[in-house]
Structure 1
């Protein structure tokens, strides 16, 4: 089995488009990873350092409000707080639209798929206040710029990012023998959340060669890693447990704790053979099959180790392997993959999305995806979205997909294409006679488009 341009757009891209030709070989796909990030320019999402200005302002207002609550000045501050929260909420939905438009119009769609994969692998979310709207800025600043270099750099950028520190409660972790720990015994405690997820999810995998002792030692090494609105990532030495700490048999740190100790252990974990194996399997499952060819996993793992975790080489190994190009398409599109591939097939014009207000974005995108089983940027846990197809193929999900397929496209495209043409556009050579006949026999354009979008041929990658 060899490279197939149409399959490349469906399996490793964002679906077929009537206006954008698929890449004609693997090297073209990989070259797209090094190209200028035109989608970030055309459909901008706020960088996290800019988002932190919102956090600083909110903290300032909250501090004043605590002193002036119940006064006329307090009422004005309460209104200001509501405006800050509303603006962030509106922008949150606007950034969802930007993610969709990037997938709809990108000439390098593998970039967008990789962003989705790594954002899910390094799941992080705000738990309260304005930080609940910080996921897209986190992805834009920590994930997107680091998807094609060394995995160690991506790992450091993601797991020491302020949003991850907040999400996994690292901000509240302190060494029992730290300056603050000794000063106020019982007030500060060691929190293992980030350490456990680094080992179990982000690097070695749940079956990796680590023990509970390694989790505790890594948690101690991570103490001092905090976040602040004004500074972003911050190392607070008074919270750091004096070292050394031993993780997987190697000693780190000492009596003068520093952020460099944390970066050192992360780079070592990134280079561990078990990380190569874990990540190779995860890439193969996400992009190719829930039950991938063991030889595909081995090829990705070998490339990962030979290149010391250079991500582009891992992608190359995946894209060059024959089993990546099997005609059978076993993976089901998750809700955002489905919605964005439909928008791409329909060539939805940017204005049709950018002019939608918050309520309309909720009605046409957010709420339908929720009914399909995916609450946008609100994970149920740090392990992210389910990869198993069974999680997405339920009676409720199928009904929601069908309803969206028939109703929403006509709201996004003023004049729907002829279903007899659209079926070829959306499915290419993978169209079946059954779907072709259904599209042509539909009573209306909306029905015909809906039948194509809900067909198994379109639902799979």
Structure 2
């Protein structure tokens, strides 16, 4: 499809990128498709930075130390009347501190750390240093994993989303983190690791081979903990001599159903069980009583189920860790995986029901290159079907918040960002299940969702500098996508914040 250059520039920024910053459309209008492919060729994905953004292993070590301190404080507490602990816990929850009688800490509602009522803002709290012993008792300070989550959010919504010219790599980081979902509500370990998981297992492989990303994901402690693989023991392994422990199929099932082949990928229950046996022993080190790489992935040969195992008609000879690596590589290169990845990418960037010809092109690129993701992205950008100027896809809340912040240049406190994402229905890295958040318009276009977006738009519109003209803002950021009806509505606004809010709520801003 041939469009005027300014239309292609707007689509590059709004469909494939993060939205247009000040002057963004003008900056790329001479060669928008080439610049988009340049981001692919340069593997342009920003790196989140911050003093608290340590490696996953370092964060786990710090978490375990934090939990030991909380436990020690709890054990030192004198006996009190029955009502006192409940009152102390309630006060701690209100202040944002972790109750001494709860290692899970504050903000737990419905099993999700940090969850809150729509529009409710959490109290601002100070960051926890992992290098300096706190002055106040640990149990009186903000919940440590939540403080790390705030730092991770800050590094992205006030950092990486503002850096790229277009932001295709950052959008892909969001896409793949949702494809390989973990949920902070699982426990304190996943809560503190979710950002490190995205930094360590997703971002380095976004423009590489899918099989490398797959191996990094399935061996990361966050995924192993989230899907309980550290509890999986081979039925006839040396570690199960007493026969009291067993196989856990959670990770194996989601690898096949969600991460590679797809629900219609042609596998059977026997394949799931065989893969689960192959990846027994895939765990992480957390035994402080023995020397080892605390907080890092290890292969525990004693827990591994011995023998040959067959998955999808392929038999994998007994071979310790290499047995699992080979099985993952073959799943990554399977034709069903090519179709599944092609469909998900086309659905995410183009339409809920993408053109079959486009899906076929992406699958062909995937198969030809054995899962070279850059080749798949290039096929997507080169496809005419991807450049239809009709805006049909509703932005997911994470994309919507990112677009409001990037286009306006405002940088709210991370507490406000996390609260807004929760209110909008997409709490950061905390979906209800391993299938992640829905990627279709109907999931986000309900009247309740739209009402919450009004609150979000109003909140952020009032944080923009007073001298910004809403009409100029809409014209610059949306360019040729801006309709006459939207401009008329903005022009009739009684105040500048109201006009900016209308721009944020326009169909052109909410859809891509």
On whether the aligned pair clears a TM of 0.5, the verdict is yes
Gaps of 5+ in 1: none
Unaligned runs of 5+ in 2: 80-99, 102-132, 287-293
> Offset at 1:161?
0.8
Corresponding position of 1:40: 47
Alignment of 1:278-357 (within 5 A): 278-348=340-410, 352-353=411-412, 356=413
Q: Distance in 1 between matches of 2:299 and 2:11?
A: 46
- 8 Å Cα contact 1:332-1:460 kept in structure 2: yes
Q: Distance in 2 between matches of 1:124 and 1:293?
A: 30
**Secondary structure of 2:165's partner?**
coil
1:384 paired to 2:388: no
Note if 1:460 corresponds to 2:511.
Answer: yes
Q: Does the CA contact (< 8 Å) of 2:56 and 2:196 recur in 1? A: yes
Give CA deviations for 1:356-401 in whole Å, capped at 9, x if unaligned: 3xxxx43x32233222221222110000010121110111110111
What CA distance in whole angstroms lies between the structure 2 residues aligned with 1:380 and 1:211?
25
Q: Distance in 2 between matches of 1:41 and 1:119?
A: 14
Report the secondary structure of 2:173's partner residue. Answer: helix
Q: Give the stretch that moved more between structures: 169-178 or 366-375.
A: 366-375
**3-state DSSP of counterpart to 2:47:** helix
Q: Which residue of 2 aligns with 1:53?
A: 61
Partner of 1:29: 36
Stretch of structure 1 that moved more, 277-286 or 41-50:
41-50
C-alpha distance in 2, partners of 1:179/1:78?
46
The 5 Å alignment of 1:172-187 reads 172-181=231-240, 183-186=241-244
Aligned mates of 1:330, 1:148 — CA distance in 2 = 26
Matched residue SS, 1:92: helix
Q: Aligned-pair distance for 1:219?
A: 0.5
Out of 296, 305, 310, the residue aligned to residue 241 of structure 1 is 305
Shift of 1:251: 1.5
Greater shift after overlay, 401-410 or 86-95? 86-95
- Judge conservation of contact 1:26–1:316 (CA < 8 Å) in 2: no
Deviates more, 1:430-439 or 1:96-105: 96-105
The aligned residue for residue 169 of structure 1 is 228
Tell me, yes or no, if the aligned pair for 1:46 and 1:136 is still in contact at 8 Å. Answer: no
In the alignment, the residues of structure 2 paired with residue 128 and residue 202 of structure 1 have an alpha-carbon distance, to the nearest angstrom, of 22
Q: Secondary structure at 1:134's aligned position in 2?
A: helix
Normalising by structure 2, what TM-score? 0.81
Q: Deviations over 1:92-139 (max 9, x none)?
A: 123212221322332240010000000001001342124312211110
For 1:142 and 1:83, how far apart are their aligned partners in 2?
33
What residue number does 1:450 align with? 501
Structure 2: distance between partners of 1:451 and 1:136: 33
| 1:165 aligned counterpart, secondary structure | helix
- Distance change (3 Å), C-alpha of 1:428 and 1:77: closer
Give the counterpart of 1:99 among 133, 156, 164: 156
2:446 is aligned to 394
| Cα distance change, pair 259–58 in 1 and its aligned pair in 2 (3 A) | farther
Task: Name the structure 2 match of 1:274.
Answer: 336
Residue 32 of structure 1 deviates from its aligned partner by 1.9
CA distance change for structure 1 residues 161 and 80 in 2, over 3 Å: closer, same or farther? farther
User: Is 2:60–2:189's contact at 8 Å kept on the other side of the alignment?
Assistant: no
Task: Show the counterpart of 2:456.
Answer: 404
Task: Give, in angstroms, the shift of residue 36 of structure 1.
Answer: 7.5
Q: Is the contact made by 2:15 and 2:349 (CA closer than 8 Å) also made in structure 1?
A: yes
Cα 1:307/1:211, change in 2 over 3 Å: same
Q: Distance in 1 between matches of 2:261 and 2:285?
A: 29
Say whether 1:90 aligns with 2:97: no
8 Å CA contact 1:148–1:312 kept in 2: the answer is yes
Do structure 1's residue 250 and structure 2's residue 314 form an aligned pair? yes
The structure where helix makes up a greater share of residues is: 1
User: How far off is 1:59 after superposition?
Assistant: 5.8
What's the CA shift for 1:416?
5.1
Query: Normalising to structure 1: TM-score of the pair?
Result: 0.90
Cα distance in structure 2, aligned partners of 1:246 and 1:395: 49
Cα distance in 2 between the residues matched to 1:236 and 1:329: 50
Deviations 1:156-212 (CA, angstroms, capped at 9, x unpaired): 00112110000001010111101121x2212x1111110000001011110011110
1:114 to 149, 167, 172: 172
Please give the residue correspondences for 1:124-203 in structure 2 after superposition, counting only pairs within 5 Å.
124-126=182-184, 127-181=186-240, 183-186=241-244, 188-203=245-260
Rate the CA distance shift 1:85–1:30 in 2: closer, same or farther, 3 A.
Answer: farther
Greater RCO, CA 8 A, separation 6+: 2
Q: CA deviation at 1:77?
A: 11
Equivalent position SS for 1:401: helix
- Is 1:214 the counterpart of 2:265? The answer is no
How far apart in 2 are the matches of 1:143 and 1:218? Answer: 22
Q: Is the 8 A contact 2:70 2:139 kept in 1?
A: no
**CA offsets 1:324-356 (integer angstroms, 9 cap, x no match):** 0001111000111111111111122xxx43xx3
Q: Is the 8 A contact 1:125 1:134 kept in 2?
A: no
2:494 partner SS = coil
Question: Residue 504 of structure 2 contacts residue 510 of structure 2 at CA under 8 Å; is this kept in 1?
Answer: yes
